[in-house]
Structure 1
Amino acid sequence: MILRQFLRASPVAASYLFGCGGRAAGAVVDPVDDIGAYLRMAEETGMRIRYVIDTHLHADHVSAGRELAEAAGASYVLFAEANAAFPFHGVRDGDVLELGNVTIHVLHTPGHTPEHISLPVTDRTRTDEPWFVLTGHTLMVGDLGRTELAANAEDGARVLFRSVQRLKALPDYLEALPGAYSGSVCGRSLSGKPSSTIGFEKRHNKAFRIEDEEAFVRAMAADLPPPPAQAAEIRAVNSGFKEAAE
């Protein structure tokens, strides 16, 4: 298994290159900004990028996913029911993407946005159990993703509550690798530490700990920070319904 984390400060975002070194097969998740960084790292680690995956249609930054997929000759992946104006490789809950000895499992975890997916990843040279889960903006270190960017806050929170139960059912030891960290406008109490475990977040993440649905909805709808600037326009760009500003 090869895994590299890319941390961006403006916009605040975390993205990932990982895959099977033995089979030279890799994937990139939630790329942003200069695609050259991912192409260079893939070359340095001896991997061909086969999949470029966006966990969701972002509202806080313009994705580099389609550009990177075209440059790398890779498939651009979104949840199958994502509302997008361009062709993409659609995946559904329970699907598996193969990267040699590495497998990517698809969990549909809506709430932050309707099309959001999380990705438990397994290295079969070590075990058939997942090693880490890429959680995008559903579960971040210290908080959960805001729920009003693609729905109203209460409806989004009810959907997110069900997604949270699925993430809580994952093994406690599993590393949680989010798509954002402190400074992102997509959460409220985010840590500057850009990784955690499911078990640690179950014990110390206030929003993730809430077991009652009504209490959860109230908490997620309260004290919302200002939304990302031009959030609707950015989602429209990422979904292909609007051209990016020059």
Structure 2
Amino acid sequence: MIFRQLLHFDPVGASYVFGCGGKASAAVVDPQLDIEPYLKASEETGMNIKYVIDTHLHADHLSGGRKLAEETGAKYVLHKNADVKYDFFGVQDGDFLDLGNVKIRVLHTPGHTPEHISLLVTDRTRGEDPWFVLTGHTLMIGDVGRTELASNIEEGARDLYHSVFEKLLGLEDHIEIYPGAFSGSVCGRSLSGKPFSTIGFEKRFNPALQRTNPTEFIQFMLENIPPQPDDFQQIRQSNQGY
């Protein structure tokens, strides 16, 4: 497997390029508006971009996903229920995306937004068990994603509880977590500057995950909410194609 994590600072976020070098197939996840770094990574690694995936319709930055997909001929992937005005390749919970020796399993993880997905990745040259999960703005390092930018805050928090505690925390402790944001992002509180972790470490040290009761978790999500991003409604609508 070839794997690259790209960290961005204006706005703060993380995107990913990974795939199978032997089969020359790659996916790009949560690309920012400037698509040149992804085209350069494709050229440097010799991998063709097969899928461009947005884990959700972002409200803090404009996505380069559609532009990158058009430029490369890749499929642009969103959850099948994404509310958008353009064509895309729709996936749902349990679907698989194939990248040669690399396999992606789609997990529907609503809460931060209704259409949010996470991506559980296996490198079959290493084994048949998953290696890491790309969690977008669902489970991050030191916190979870805010829930009021695309839905009612309490409904979002309730959905997020089920996504985190019933899906993501059901993964084995050694599974690595690669989120879509880190310290400095407005999409979480007290985010770590270390942009990756493991399921086991977050279970033990992430404050949000200590609220194992749904009522306590929802109450936690209603407290200390960060300021909303500037123009977040317009940004999300632009990413929807409105």
Give the aligned length: 241
CA distance in 2, matches of 1:8, 1:149: 21
CA distance in 2, matches of 1:73, 1:21: 19
CA distance in 1, matches of 2:6, 2:187: 18
| 2:10 counterpart residue number | 10
Moved over 6 A (4+): none
Deviations 1:47-97 (A, max 9, x none): 000000000000000000000111111000000000010000000000000
Counterpart check, 1:232 vs 2:233 = yes
Letter in 1 for 2:102: V
Counterpart check, 1:207 vs 2:203 = no
> Which secondary structure does the structure 1 equivalent of 2:131 belong to?
strand
Displacement after TM superposition at 1:208 (Å): 2.0
CA distance in 2, matches of 1:229, 1:139: 23
Displacement after TM superposition at 1:153 (Å): 1.2
Displacement after TM superposition at 1:33 (Å): 3.0
Q: How many percent identity over aligned positions?
A: 63
Letter in 1 for 2:128: D
| 1:218 counterpart residue number | 219
CA distance in 2, matches of 1:71, 1:59: 23
Counterpart check, 1:123 vs 2:128 = no
Displacement after TM superposition at 1:154 (Å): 1.0
Residue pair 2:96, 2:105 contacting (<8 A) in 1 also:
yes
Residue pair 2:33, 2:65 contacting (<8 A) in 1 also:
no
> Which secondary structure does the structure 2 equivalent of 1:199 belong to?
helix
Counterpart check, 1:190 vs 2:191 = yes
CA distance in 2, matches of 1:221, 1:204: 20
> Which secondary structure does the structure 1 equivalent of 2:161 belong to?
helix
| 1:85 counterpart residue number | 85
TM-score (norm 1): 0.97
Structure 2: runs of 5+ lacking an equivalent? none
Displacement after TM superposition at 1:34 (Å): 1.6
CA distance in 2, matches of 1:78, 1:152: 21
| 1:108 counterpart residue number | 108
CA distance in 2, matches of 1:219, 1:78: 29
Letter in 1 for 2:200: G
Deviations 1:111-166 (A, max 9, x none): 00000000000001111111110000001100000000111211110110000111
Displacement after TM superposition at 1:209 (Å): 2.6
Q: Which moved more, 1:45-54 or 1:219-228?
A: 219-228
Displacement after TM superposition at 1:201 (Å): 0.4
TM-score (norm 2): 0.99
Displacement after TM superposition at 1:220 (Å): 0.4
| 1:244 counterpart residue number | none
Q: How does 1:137-216 map to 2 (within 5 A)?
A: 137-165=137-165, 166-216=167-217
Structure 1: runs of 5+ lacking an equivalent? 242-246
| 2:37 counterpart residue number | 37
